[in-house]
Structure 1
Amino acid sequence: MSETGTNDSDVDDPETTTINVRVTERQLAEIDAAWKEEGYTSRSEFLRHAIRDATEHPGASRDMLASIAAEEYAMRKGESEAVSRDEVVELIDDT
């Protein structure tokens, strides 16, 4: 894998299509920090999951996302317990 977060196996997958997306330098830095911190193998893998979540769960409102972000912040400060990604998806699906 390269420093840019690309993975050669991404290119070999016949079911994927390459797209170009323009983001700010700040957004790119946030994306790079997030995929590494969350344990994804590449930037592409992280973005595919983000796109899938956005398209499969379009009902996730800004208020819901703000609530999730607040809970994440509380968890990092030790004021809340962690929940799995699957638990979050289940909560989203129930709304």
Structure 2
Amino acid sequence: MSKTDRSDSDPEIDRINLRISRPFLEVVDETWRERGFNSRSEFIRYALRDSVNHPEGAGLWKDLAISEAELDDTDAVSSDEIRSEYGTNDE
């Protein structure tokens, strides 16, 4: 592994790349801010840990992946349309 693949501050942390659609990223960004996370990375690490520690919830992540794939096949939509379509309102 090259030095650029690791965080400069902690040699035990690896950096990864994640590709997701822009509409889904907008929902992710709104979600981490609304839920009080300090950053997108912190929220994604939390979500990954949660899915590993609670595999019974894996269906949720599969559903999210399917939703993202469906979004990739359509024209751009707003975050509100995504919430409405996929029932992601936290209210």
TM range (shorter): 0.5 to 0.7
Given the superposition, is the C-alpha separation of residues 61 and 47 from structure 1 closer, same or farther in structure 2, using an over 3 Å criterion? closer
Aligned residues: percent identity? 38
Given the superposition, is the C-alpha separation of residues 19 and 61 from structure 1 closer, same or farther in structure 2, using an over 3 Å criterion? closer
Q: List alignment gaps of at least 5 residues for structure 2.
A: 1-6, 61-86
Given the superposition, is the C-alpha separation of residues 20 and 37 from structure 1 closer, same or farther in structure 2, using an over 3 Å criterion? same
Match of 2:81? none
1:52-91 CA distances to partner (integer Å, 9 max, x unpaired)?
001111112648xxxxxx8x75xx2xxxxxxxxxxxxxxx
Moved over 6 A (4+): none
Match of 1:51? 48
In structure 1, how many angstroms separate the alpha carbons of the residues matched to 2:35 and 2:52?
A: 20
Match of 1:19? 16
Q: List alignment gaps of at least 5 residues for structure 1.
A: 1-9, 64-69, 77-95
* TM-score normalised according to structure 2 size: 0.53
* TM-score normalised according to structure 1 size: 0.51
Q: Which has the higher contact order (CA 8 A, sep 6+)?
A: 2
- For the aligned residues, what is the CA RMSD? 2.7
Residues 1:41 and 2:42 are matched in the alignment = no
